Amino acid sequence: MDHVRIGELSKHIDQTVTVKGWLYNKRESGKLKFPIVRDGSGYLQCVVSKKEVSEESWQAATDSTQESTLHVVGVVREEPRAPGGVELHVSDFKVAHLTQDYPITPKEHGTAYLMQHRHLWLRSKNQHAILRIRSEVEQACRDFFYNNDFTLIDSPILTPAACEGTSTLFETDYFGDKAYLSQSGQLYLEPAAAALGKVYCFGPTFRAEKSKTRRHLMEFWMIEPEVAFLEFDGLQNLAEEFVEYIVQRVVERRKEELKALERDITKLERIQRPFPRITYREAIDVLQKKGKDVKFGDDLGADDETALAEAFDKPVMVSRYPTSIKAFYMQPDPNDPEVALGMDMLAPEGYGEIIGGSQRIHDHDLLLQRIKEHDLPIEAFQWYLDVRKYGSFPHSGFGMGIERAVAWICGVTHLRECIPYPRMLYKIYP
């Protein structure tokens, strides 16, 4: 009998098929058993009737335990009340591998315990839904840039210099020299933008953040576009078009998973352009009126971000932060040189910053001066300065942390559930 994935069963109504998977749960009543099998593509309710199966099959269904590997043969029947709209009327039930003492039971476990068993926790319903949505988000990101004629540029992981400040670098030995794990692919995208015009990279990035918050991982995935001749307003348009696309794509294609997570879809359906835009100076005013102790020059903390985002049911773009608190490469605002042409996009519902981006300095001497002011090693940045030496051009880009976006879209409060194997402060198991 053909092996069919559970997600495909609705195309096999009234046919006999084999399903291979794991026992998720089991109900029984007298001479009937209702094992629920999962195989990654869905959940299937099976009906095992003592009258209709062999002694061996009945015994196997009786003995099967949570997460035992199963091979089940039966006829697919339509059943609107069952998950996936079908059930399997079983003719043969085999336990291919009997699981004993599965560590994660349907009872509540603490998060520390679950994180320690992350490799098994992935099988649970919510984790399964989050990973499917993550995969959809990643595919949507790639499709968005591909459809808009961007070229993918894979940036290196081992780098000789910092992109986002020297305090969060993971250092490693490179044949006697120092190398660092990449904090961002941006610096490598800028020269590629001169070669290809519109480029993006997508890969893991690393930050040795000595902070234990629900929004920080040591290793996270970032998608970063960089566009030649794109200036600051155009950058904000690109960011909002991109985010709208991704959210609507998940709403359209991952309804089941959003439902499993009990996510309020109406909140996601509202994520349509245009998004509100405010300046950092305006943001400081708003926060001061709310009684917060902040002034020009302060970086915005997580609570400030939440307080700002509260006023909107869409992501808000906060722009023109003081140059003093932003990265060395950001173009100063010609009308207000104390601030930079950079922006953060803050997600609604308290999810905080999902995107950081800016127009880049394209004047060679100004960039050199900034590198010096930031005490960065000039030799390591010679190649980066070359972009401003040979046919310089205004350009802009941004980076979106995939886990931040997934957490918001899924309505999950902690980033650790939004990546298969999170790397957190002092935690690298499994």
- What's the CA angle centered on 47, arms 43 and 50, to 5 degrees? 150
Q: Which of residues 253-292 bind ligand 4AD (CB under 6 A)?
A: none
> Binding residue for ligand 4AD (CB under 6 A) from 39, 136, 224, 240?
224
**225 makes contact with Mg ion (CB under 5 A):** no
Q: Which is nearer to Mg ion, 43 or 408 (CB)?
A: 408
Buried b (16+ CB within 10 A) or exposed e, 414-424: ebbbbbeebeb
Q: Which is nearer to ligand 4AD, 220 or 242 (CB)?
A: 220
What length is written for the chain?
A: 430
Tokens describing residue 246: 């991704």
Q: Which is nearer to Mg ion, 185 or 356 (CB)?
A: 356
Residue nearest to ligand 4AD (CB): 356
Stretch that binds Mg ion, among 103-111, 265-273, 280-288, 355-363 (CB under 5 A): 355-363
Contacted entry of ligand 4AD, Mg ion, none for residue 38, CB cut-off 5 to 8 Å set by kind: none
Q: Which is nearer to Mg ion, 58 or 202 (CB)?
A: 202
**220 makes contact with ligand 4AD (CB under 6 A):** yes
316-319 β-sheet, strand order: 151-152, 198-206, 219-228, 395-401, 352-359, 342-347, 316-319, 277-279
Q: Nearest-CA neighbor of 224 among 369, 395, 41?
A: 395
Classify residue 298 by burial, with Cβ atoms within 10 Å: 0-12, 13-18, 19+. Answer: middle
Give the separation between CA 393 and CA 387, rounded to whole angstroms.
Answer: 8
Q: Which of residues 398-417 bind ligand 4AD (CB under 6 A)?
A: 398-401, 403-404, 415
Residue nearest to Mg ion (CB): 356
**422 makes contact with ligand 4AD (CB under 6 A):** no
Tokens describing residue 202: 């997508």
Contacted entry of Mg ion, ligand 4AD, none for residue 347, CB cut-off 5 to 8 Å set by kind: none
> Binding residue for Mg ion (CB under 5 A) from 356, 397, 401, 422?
356
Q: Nearest-CA neighbor of 238 among 143, 351, 148, 138?
A: 148
Chain CA centroid to CA 155, Å? 19
**Residue 331 in contact with residue 341, Cβ under 8 Å?**
yes
Stretch that binds ligand 4AD, among 69-77, 113-121, 172-180, 395-403 (CB under 6 A): 395-403
Binding residues vs Mg ion (CB under 5 A): 356
Binding residues vs ligand 4AD (CB under 6 A): 163-164, 184, 186, 207, 209, 216-217, 220, 222, 224, 353-358, 397-401, 403-404, 415
